[in-house]
């Protein structure tokens, strides 16, 4: 069964304290892995797409990496404005090219 699991569920960091969020997946065939950020009361906002193991993408303080079983979202020297829920999604290479989202990691960065 295709599955996406994110950990931890919640993370509290001091401003400037770097850390990583994890997204592990079990799918029959990966077409793409996506990271989104969601602020309260808003729709998810696209951050990155990764397609193959070894691929990395960066944007400001965020860096996403991909292996054959998991992806990490590294946050370097976070700021309070980085507080949000971070969602991971996979698109499965099957007949319907289905999308599955993880339940997210709620990040709080304390000044």
Residues engaged in binding another protein (CB under 8 A): 31-32, 34, 36, 42-46, 49, 87, 89, 91, 96-104
Nearer to another protein, 14 or 95 (CB): 95
Nearer to another protein, 46 or 77 (CB): 46
Nearer to another protein, 42 or 111 (CB): 42
Q: Which helix (H) or strand (E) holds 21?
A: strand 19-26
Q: φ, ψ for residue 97 (rounded to 5)? A: 50, 50
The C-alpha atoms of residue 44 and residue 46 are separated, in whole angstroms, by 7
């Amino acid at each position: 069964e295709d599955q996406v699991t994110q950990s931890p569920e919640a993370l509290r960091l001091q401003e400037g304290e770097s850390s990583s969020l994890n997204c592990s997946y079990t799918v029959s065939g990966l077409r793409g892995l996506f990271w989104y950020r969601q602020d309260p009361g808003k729709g998810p906002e696209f951050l990155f797409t990764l397609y193959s193991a070894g691929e990395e993408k960066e944007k400001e303080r965020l860096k996403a990496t991909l292996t054959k079983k998991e992806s990490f979202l590294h946050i370097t020297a976070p700021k309070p404005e980085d507080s949000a829920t971070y969602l991971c999604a996979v698109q499965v290479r099957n007949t319907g090219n289905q999308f599955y989202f993880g339940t997210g990691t709620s990040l709080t960065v304390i000044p």
